[in-house]
A and B are shown apart, each in its own frame.
Chain A
Amino acid sequence: MTNIQSAAVTAEAGGPLVPEGLPTEPQKAKPAWRSLNFGPRMWISLGIIGAVAALAFIGPLFYPYGPDQKVGSLYDSPSAEHILGTENFGYDVLAVLMASARNSLIIGLLAGTIAVLIGVAIGILAGYIGGWVEEALMGFTNIVLAIPSIVILILISISLQSTNVAFLKGVVGLALVIGITAWPWTARAVRAQASSVATREHIDVAKLSGARTPSIMVRDVLPYLASYAVMAWVLQLASAILAESTLSMLGLGPSGANSLGKQLFWALAFQAVATGAWWAFLPPTIVLTMISFGLLYLQSSLDEVFNPRLRRGKKKNLAKAAARREETARKLAEQNQRVEVTA
């Protein structure tokens, strides 16, 4: 796992991301999303994620080999027929890679969604209701946050491995475990936002008009946290995919299914790195890095969209404006000179 949590901490400490009602100038009617600053970063990150998703979900439709088809022997070099050669069991690396990427993405989506749902629910409850509810929930959250999540993940996964319930050992079980251990920092950050929203005037209006607490939390608080929840979800996705591969590399991966981490586990177990069989370990390494980089890059560009203070202006516009200012300054100077001459 990388320092994804530190990114979240930064987002939390950086102050409320909730728009503070910026003075907007009356502008030509534009759809709301057009006024968002969708920079090149956003497109690059979406492109990377799209490429991985295409490999995972569309690739298998066109690739002739399956991930459970023995087509060669230990580490056959890449050839025209098997573009990325074979892995230690003689399976086609590209076919396995597609299946692995799909499973890893599924685990990420499931676990990330679970974590964000729990985190947002706990965060809103604590932040909006306050009082002892907040103290209790946040106390619990902080304690869970202090214990390294990898330790809890390892201990739970070991317990699950010796159960007889098949689905708990597989992709879904792993996603569940990751999801229910990953929510604390989302809860913490959401609480900070929710308690700032809770003091806004529109909440008083809602209360006075007789709305009930659950309805206020869903209709009047949640929308203000939506942008944050989206960013948290993106981070949780990345974090869950990396947690899966960490567990898999420790030998606690989903049983009976491929995943990017398991691919690396087998590559290390069969000395692919030391023997130079790059096709066995580089593809999953690269795909993992692409997923992680793409999602974090997406998060940081979303941060700039939602968070005007981080924005540094579009280069093209700034350059144009600077040129125009130079021109105005020159004209003004000329004008002043002329006035002086005539005076």
Chain B
Amino acid sequence: MGLRRYLANKTIWYLGALVVAVVLNFLLPRLIPGNPVDVLVSKMGQGGLSSEAQQRTYEAFMREFGLDKPIWDQFVLYITGVFHGNFGASFSFYPTPVSSLSAQSVPYTLALQLPAIVLGWIIGNLLGAIAAYKGGGWDKSVFTTALLFNSTPYYCLSIILLYVFAVVLGIFPVGGAYSLGLSPEWSWEFFSDAVSYWWLPFLSLVLINIGGQAVGMRSMAIYELGSDYVNYSRSLGIGDRKMTGYIFRNAMLPQITGLALSIGTMVGGALITELVFSYPGMGTLLFGAISSNDYPVIQAVTLIITVAVLVANYMVEILYGFIDPRIRASKSGEK
């Protein structure tokens, strides 16, 4: 398969997935019997609003969110809104636009997830390769530790780390993203304060990612160790270090595809980590929105997460196409 065909193929698939994701994101919340405004207004009713006022609010909301139009028109409105970065207004913080709520949370989520995924991938793969190559006690201890971390749910490790290091030992602050009295700004003072809040949630993500990658890399590398080229390189007198390099390079390729497939799971798990630490990212925003039935926010958050994951996967797969010589350099048929 040539590189161009590979790229075209991947692009088409990811565009397809994007379309399906957007449609699902639009459709699923609308499958709710009645509609979200009913739920919202009936809650207001419990707050003692008169029925006439309720009716007015209801109609206002229906117009505001376009729910009085046929579903196809709603979809067109939704799509045009999304393309302009307009997700409508939040129910619970009406009339704050959803886009500004999510704009506040995205940086925190990125600051946690991006380094956790990238560093976790690099360190995990190194550890896994070393464990496979050294074998014996190294293998046993690295593998068991990695498996333990890999199988610990994100939020369980978060809770344990939070309790031990913040509550019992008091080394890190208990929750939040920065100290009371500060406000987010580009200053050294804010940054250094925010880092002390960032450490624990970051650690709980990165440790688990390292574990997952190390487990995967180890079994990949064990497969590679038994392959013909290892034996041949050895028969040529090539040293251990060079050979580890060969093995690493080959075992890494499936690990890249593996990364593309697990980014979604990692991101999903990490949302709960934010909850545990009350870290003001997308996870906490989503949690708040779910508990207050704030559908526009839920829809925006799920859409942003989906698109981000699809884009990340797409970029990883494109990168893979450039790295794997079997795709990059197709057969030239030298006889």
Q: A278-304, CB under 8 A of B: which get 1 and which 0?
A: 100110011011001101110010010
From known contacts A13-B220, A293-B152, infer whether A158 and B29 are also in contact, taking CB-CB under 8 Å.
yes
Q: Is B49 an interface residue when CB atoms closer than 8 A count as contact?
A: no
Within 8 A of A (CB), among B15-49: 16-17, 20-21, 24-25, 28-29, 31-34, 39
A245 CA / B232 CA spacing, docked (Å): 49
A150 to B269, CA, bound (A): 8
Residues of B in contact with A (beta carbons under 8 Å apart): 13-14, 16-17, 20-21, 24-25, 28-29, 31-34, 39, 135, 139, 147-148, 150-156, 159-160, 162-163, 167-168, 174-175, 208-209, 211-213, 215-216, 219-220, 222-223, 226, 254, 257-259, 261-262, 264-269, 271-272, 275-276, 286-287, 290-291, 298, 302, 305-306, 309-310, 313
CB distance from A87 to the nearest CB of B (A): 15
Q: Which B residues lie within 8 Å of A300 (CB)?
A: 147, 215
Instruction: Name which residue of chain B comes closest to A249, CB basis.
Output: B272
Establish whether residues B222 and A162, one from each chain, have CB atoms under 8 Å apart when the complex forms.
no
Q: Which residue of B lies closest to A276 (CB)?
A: B167
Let me know if A80 is at the binding interface, CB within 8 A: no
Q: In chain A, what residue has the closest Cβ to B276?
A: A268
- Given A6-B261, A14-B219, are A146 and B17 neighbors across the interface (CB < 8 Å)? yes
Known contacts A150-B271, A281-B163; is-contact A2 B17 (Cβ 8 Å): no
Kindly identify, within residues 144 to 161 of chain A, every residue whose CB is under 8 Å from any CB belonging to chain B.
144-152, 154-156, 158-159
Q: Determine whether the beta carbon of B216 is less than 8 Å from that of A7.
A: yes
- Say yes or no: is A217 at the interface (Cβ < 8 Å to chain B): no
Selected from B150, B254, B266, the residue in CB contact (under 8 A) with A296 is B150
Residues of B within 8 A of A312 (CB): 135, 139
Interchain nearest-CB distance for A50 vs B (Å): 17
Task: Tell me whether chain B's interface is mostly helix, strand or loop, or mixed.
Answer: helix
C-alpha spacing A144/B20, complex, angstroms: 8
| Closest beta carbon of chain B to A318's beta carbon, Å | 11
A273 near B159: Cβ-Cβ < 8 Å: yes
What residue in chain A is nearest B152 (Cβ atoms)?
A289
Q: Which of B39, B153, B174, B302 contacts A1 (CB 8 A)?
A: B153
- Please state if A2 and B154 are interface contacts (CB–CB under 8 Å): yes
B261 touches A9 (CB 8 A): yes
A317 to chain B, nearest CB (A): 15
Neighbour of B265 across the interface among A4, A274, A285, CB < 8 A? A4
A13-B258, A162-B32 are known; give 7 further A-B pairs, CB within 8 A: A2-B208, A7-B150, A13-B220, A148-B309, A149-B268, A151-B305, A245-B155
**Complex Cα spacing A273 to B275, Å:** 12
List chain B residues, Cβ under 8 A from A246: 153, 155, 268-269, 272
Give chain B nearest CB distance to A310 CB in angstroms.
6
Complex alpha-carbon distance, A150 and B159, angstroms: 20
The digit string for A211-233, where 1 denotes a CB below 8 A from any CB of B, is: 00000000000000000000000
**A322 interfacial contact with B, CB 8 Å:** no
Across the interface, do A274 and B275 meet the contact criterion of CB distance under 8 Å?
no
Contacts of A155 in B (CB 8 A): 24-25, 28-29, 298, 302
Given contacts A4-B265, A142-B13, whether A273 and B151 have CB atoms under 8 Å apart is no
Of A3, A7, A151, the contact of B306 (CB 8 Å cutoff)? A151
B302 touches A5 (CB 8 A): no
Residues of B within 8 A of A10 (CB): 215-216, 219-220, 254, 258
B167 near A273 (CB under 8 angstroms)?
yes
Contacting residues, chain B, for A156 (C-beta < 8 A)? 28
Chain A CB count within 10 A is highest, among B152, B175, B265, for: B265
Docked Cα-Cα span, A9 to B217, in Å, equals: 11
- Smallest CB–CB gap between A8 and chain B, Å? 9
Taken together as a complex, chains A and B put the C-alpha atoms of A285 and B254 apart, in Å, by: 32
Q: Is A242 located at the chain interface by the 8 A CB criterion?
A: yes
Pair A274/B153 contact, Cβ less than 8 Å? no
Contact partner, A14, options B160, B220, B261, Cβ 8 Å: B220
User: How far is B151's CA from A286's CA once the two chains are assembled, in angstroms?
Assistant: 12
B39, B168, B223, most chain A CB atoms within 10 A? B223
Is residue A183 contacting chain B, with contact meaning CB distance below 8 A?
no
Shortest Cβ distance from B286 into A: residue? A250
What CA separation (Å) do A162 and B167 show in the bound complex? 38
Q: Is the CB of A297 within 8 A of B220?
A: no
- Cβ of A251 < 8 Å from any Cβ of B? yes
A159 to B25, CA, bound (A): 12
Question: Which chain B residue shows the least CB distance to A13?
Answer: B254
| Cross-chain contact A251 with B290 (CB below 8 angstroms) | yes
A96 at the interface (CB under 8 A from B): no
Mind listing 29 A-B residue pairs with CB under 8 Å? Answer: A1-B265, A3-B262, A3-B265, A4-B151, A5-B261, A6-B216, A6-B261, A6-B262, A7-B212, A9-B258, A10-B220, A10-B254, A139-B13, A143-B20, A150-B269, A151-B302, A152-B24, A158-B29, A246-B153, A246-B269, A249-B155, A250-B272, A273-B162, A274-B174, A281-B163, A285-B159, A286-B156, A300-B147, A310-B222
Q: Which residues in A have their C-beta under 8 angstroms from that of B264?
A: 146-150
Q: Is the CB of B216 within 8 A of A9?
A: yes
- Encoded as 1 (CB less than 8 Å from any B CB) or 0, chain A from 221 to 260 comes to 0000000000000000010001001100111100000000
Chain B residue numbers with a CB within 8 Å of A276 are 163, 167-168
* A7–B29 CA distance with the chains assembled, in angstroms: 32
